[in-house]
Amino acid sequence: MAFAASRELDYDGVARLPAAPGRAVLAWRDLAGGWQRRWMWGALAVHDIKLRYRGSLLGPFWLTISTAIMVVAMGVIYPYLFHMNAGRYVPYLAVGLIVWQTLSGIANEGCNTFLGEESVIQQVPVPFSIHAYRCVCRNFLVLGHNLVIVPFGMLVLRLPVDWQIVMFVPGLVLLAINGVWLSILLGMVSARFRDVPPIVTNFIQVVFFLTPVIWPLDALHGPLRSVIVMNPFFAAMDIVRAPLLGVAPAATSWPIMLVTTAVGCGLGFALFARFRTRIAYWV
Amino acid sequence: MSASLRLRNVSVEFPIYSGGSRSLKKLLFNTTTVGNLGRDARDRVTVLALSDLSLDIRHGERLAIIGANGAGKSTLLKVLAGIYAPTGGQMHAEGRVSALLTASVGLNPDATGRENIVTRGMYMDVHPRDMRARVEEIAAFTDLGYYIDMPVRTYSSGMMVRLCFAVATSLRPEILLMDEWLAAGDAGFLAKARQRMEEFVSATSILVLASHSLSLLREWCNRAILLERGRLIAVGAVDEVAEIYASRTG
């Protein structure tokens, strides 16, 4: 036993370790490893919802009821404001609010993807992507509870149903993919810059009024309309809402959503690869 | 391939982002006796928690980490666990690592003890299905009685330690990293925990234990390292390293 500078201490003669894989490979392994553990984030997301409604009789169906109450309340006055008949306006509003809750839920909770899981990130090495999948899954569970309203509404209002309604499924898949990159991106930026979550909350609030959720797109004319149509939040909403209402989405919606997905995934992956290992230091 | 942990010139530097870094820097430079402060290329204040550390930990080793507060013991454990990626140098782990760093990992205060057992198991990569099969055994070991079905919020800190200890030691990792939290808990439980720990540790390939309790380290470990301000000062038998530590702290 001797004193020595740390450099000379206890080498077994192997000067170098096998080269570590590159950042992009590690980021990809993180995403793939997280996807393999679907049981983990699936169960955690279910657990999140259960805990939110612990002790309540109706449990997560309060989500459904709250949305229904809001739709009924607004359905009394708003059709007159927009000169629409209630039979057309109420389904539009209901589906719009349901989809909007998912979009805003993912954006707002996405800021907390990593910050909210600090105790886990600091103690156990699980893939970081788990937290993002969990956030998206949780919001889709809420969506699932809310969507119960749709078949009910269709029965009550005797709306015709045709096969095109199934087009909302690919729309939801695309929404989920966008949810993942968004919660990874917002989660990282929020962990590093703590001013981001309130900024996002305010931004989403503004976008809510700029996106046709409670007001119909047809109420808007002129150049502003073409700007609103280009808004990715409108596109995201339209590809799910339109098929559920039995109408075709705007011609621009799918292309805009596909471009958003490609750009978002690219940007999200690049930043994730670059800063993934920093997340544990930030939270 | 047998389990091993290898570190090459590993450094860990924490950037400090909080506002007023200049005054903070002044303050810390003047008062600190532990850790290393410096500035990085962009003139941010950084804390050098580990500096140029090279070490091999092989199969069969029971390594004690000795050092004062702020010497980098916990940081080293987190690097070995794969939680902190080194900011410099390289770390390579062979084998399944399990880290018991603090008692309260991912405990949800509103969920019951039973639910938390399953959740904690998930974070240790165990499917809820497999974990549910073990819940009874784990619950029995905790001696929590009907508290196991109460929200963890109602637990005393000793009860929480029992719960965490029972879950953490219900698995058999190849490489086990521990901070000294296990010393908590009441005397009756401690005796029980000790026996369980003995079985648990003897089943692992590598143990790394950070503690201030030299008697604990002497009992559990067959090798020790001494950290001082993030640097590796000495490696050797536990008694020798403890002696060096004592002589350096005066």
283 residues of chain A, pLDDT tens digit each: 334 433 444 445 555 677 778 889 999 999 999 999 999 999 999 988 988 888 788 888 888 888 889 988 988 888 888 888 888 888 899 999 999 999 999 999 999 999 998 888 988 888 999 999 999 999 999 999 898 888 888 888 777 778 888 889 999 999 999 999 999 999 999 998 889 999 999 999 999 999 999 988 888 888 888 888 899 999 999 999 999 988 889 999 999 999 999 999 999 999 999 999 999 988 8
- Nearest-Cα residue of chain B relative to residue A18: B92
Out of B105, B127, B232, whose CB is closest to A123? B105
Query: What is the arithmetic mean of pLDDT over B59-77?
Result: 90
Out of B14, B52, B56, whose CB is closest to A12? B56
What integer pLDDT is reported at residue A1 of this predicted model? 37
d(CA B40, CA B20): 16
Q: Residue B225: which pLDDT band, with cuts at 50, 70 and 90?
A: very high
What integer pLDDT is reported at residue B36 of this predicted model? 62
Give contacts of B 211-250 with A, CB under 8 A. 231-237, 240-241, 244
What integer pLDDT is reported at residue A144 of this predicted model? 92
Q: Compute the nearest-CA separation of B232 from chain A (Å).
A: 5
With H, G, I as helix, E, B as strand and everything else as coil, classify residue A44. Answer: helix
Q: Compute the nearest-CA separation of A27 from chain B (Å).
A: 13
What integer pLDDT is reported at residue B23 of this predicted model? 46
Q: What does pLDDT average to over chain B?
A: 82
pTM of the model: 0.88
Kindly tell me the sign of the dihedral angle through the C-alpha atoms of B214, B215, B216, B218.
Answer: positive
- Tell me if A37 and B108 make a contact (CB, 8 A cut-off): no
Q: Is the ipTM of this complex over 0.85?
A: no
Query: What is the DSSP code string of A57-92?
Result: SSTTHHHHHHHHHHHHHHHHHHHHHTT--HHHHHHH
Least confident residue range of B12-21, B50-59, B77-86: B12-21
B-chain residues near A115 (CB < 8 A): none
What integer pLDDT is reported at residue A7 of this predicted model? 41
Give contacts of A 33-62 with B, CB under 8 A. 37, 39-40, 43-44, 47, 51, 54
The β-bridge partners of B223 are: B63
Q: Residue B28: which pLDDT band, with cuts at 50, 70 and 90?
A: low
What integer pLDDT is reported at residue B178 of this predicted model? 84
- Nearest-Cα residue of chain A relative to residue B46: A281
Closest by CA position to A225, among listed A244, A248, A250, A247: A250
What integer pLDDT is reported at residue B217 of this predicted model? 87
Contacts of A218 (CB under 8 A, 6+ apart): none
Contacts of A75 (CB under 8 A, 6+ apart): A86, A89, A90, A93
What integer pLDDT is reported at residue B39 of this predicted model? 60
B-chain residues near A18 (CB < 8 A): 92
Specify whether the CB–CB gap between A105 and A140 falls below 8 A.
no
Characterize B170-183 residue by residue with b for buried, 16 or more Cβ atoms within 10 angstroms of its Cβ, and e for exposed.
bbebbbbbbbebbe
pLDDT higher than 80, residue B246:
yes
pLDDT higher than 80, residue B163:
yes
With vertex at residue B189, the alpha carbon angle to CA B187 and CA B192, rounded to the nearest 5 degrees, is 115
A-chain residues near B5 (CB < 8 A): none
d(CA B163, CA B114): 9
More confident residue, B46 or B26: B46
What integer pLDDT is reported at residue A240 of this predicted model? 94
Q: What tens digit of pLDDT does each residue of B107-156 get? A: 788 889 999 999 888 888 889 899 888 899 899 988 888 899 999 889 88
What integer pLDDT is reported at residue A53 of this predicted model? 84
d(CA B226, CA B124): 29
